[in-house]
Structure formats: structure tokens, C-alpha cells
Amino acid sequence: MALGPFYVAQKLSQGGAMRGIVLLMRHGETAWNREGRVMGQSPVELDAGGRAQVEAAVPFARTIKPEIIVTSPLLRARQSAEIIAQGLGGIEVVEDSGLEEVRYGRWQGMVYEDLLKDSDYERYREHPLTTPTPGGETIGQVQQRGVDAILRSIRNHLGKRLLFVSHGDIIRTVLCHFMGLELGHFRRIRIDNATFSAVQVVNDFAEVKFLNLLPDPERAFVSPFARRNEKS
């Protein structure tokens, strides 16, 4: 038998002021997702396909039994959180602005092909840890506010199973934190729309339970822009 589980069991059995189960869900798809368009802080709502994705996730949400939902206040995330909450019998939903999407500033509304011609994006793509977006954030600052929001909720609800509904890059950077990965690797973690990841946190230790769990696994092997390009 592998010895790793013994170490994990010891860590997870420790007492302390910081303990809880962190469930992470990305919002369902929007029309802008399908177009490959930067949403940022834009109040873009779920389309019919995105609502169907989130509704399809409800049965799994019932099996993991979150007790409270903490959501980004942006419309697409709030709508996703409300669908899950209703499917769970109306559990509490609270907002935390720390879970909002990256503040992309003037990139909002641009499509991928436009970004490739943008010198600011070229610098950000190569050096996201030190280069801020036109909205004023480095990816390190994004990670910090996301982690702060999650730890704040854990402290306020010790021992609870919390579902955080947020956005792709927030979830990627938060997972890097809990996995002990260098932040520069955040783009190596795939986070699809309406998927779940889970981490159990005890003090300064965290065990990742699962990543990017989705009911249709073949979706994870499709390039984010493949469907749009196939239609063009």
C-alpha cells in the first residue's frame, strides 16, 4: 500500500482554526463564451445552452451536498449559483466580489483574433505574473483576491462544505495556491464551464479531491474555440 494516504489522513485529522471543504464551480456558458469574446466585468447572462449545462450539473451537486453557495456577483455566475441553489432545495447564496472575473479593462468585448494583434496582450500572455491587464490586475493579484475570498468564507463557516461559483482564471489560480503549484502554471489547468473541482483544507494543508469534473468528459478534449471556428 502506498504511504501517501497515511500522511494525508494525519493532516486531515488535525484540529485548527482553518478547516472546510472547498467546492469550485465555473459558471455555465454564455453567448460570449461561444464567440470567444472577453467578458470580464460585463453583465453577460447565461444563454439557453449555459442554463442547460448548469441544470445538468444539479444531480452531481446533490451528491456532494454543499451547505452554502458563495458566488461572484457577476450575472452569469449569480444565475448559475441560483440554479444550483434551487436544485438543492433553496440553500443560501451569498456574494463575494473577490470571486469576480479578471478585470480586463479595454479588452472587454474583444475576440481572440483581436487580442492576437494587441501589443498589451502579447506582453500579458508572455508575462502574466508581472504585467497587469489594461484593467489594472496582474494574475498574482487575481489569485490573491480569490484565495482571500475563499479563506474568509472558510473562517466564517468553519467545517462547512462551501460551493464557490466563479470564473475560469480565478478557479485556476486558486487551485494553484491550494496545490502548491507555481502560479506560472495556472494555464495548464483546464476548467470548463459548469464543472466542479474540490479541495479539503485543514490549516495550511490541502488535498485536492477532483478537478474539472463534468458529465460529458469528451468536452474536455475540445479546443475552446473549435466550435466557433468550425462554424466560420
Residues that are catalytic: 27, 101
Tell me if residue 171 falls in helix, strand or coil: helix
- What residues does 95 pair with on adjacent strands? 71
- Helices 139-156 and 168-179: crossing angle in degrees, nearest 10, is 70
Rounded distance between C-alpha atoms, residue 226 and residue 216, angstroms? 16
Q: Which three cell numbers stand for residue 146?
A: 480569490
* C-beta of residue 183 within 8 angstroms of C-beta of residue 173: yes
What strands lie across the sheet with 93-95, from one edge to the other?
A: 93-95, 68-71, 161-166, 19-26, 196-202, 205-213
Tell me if residue 179 falls in helix, strand or coil: helix
- What are the Cα distances from residue 182, in Å, to 122, 161, 187, 196? 21, 26, 11, 22
* C-beta of residue 173 within 8 angstroms of C-beta of residue 37: no
Rounded distance between C-alpha atoms, residue 93 and residue 81, angstroms? 7
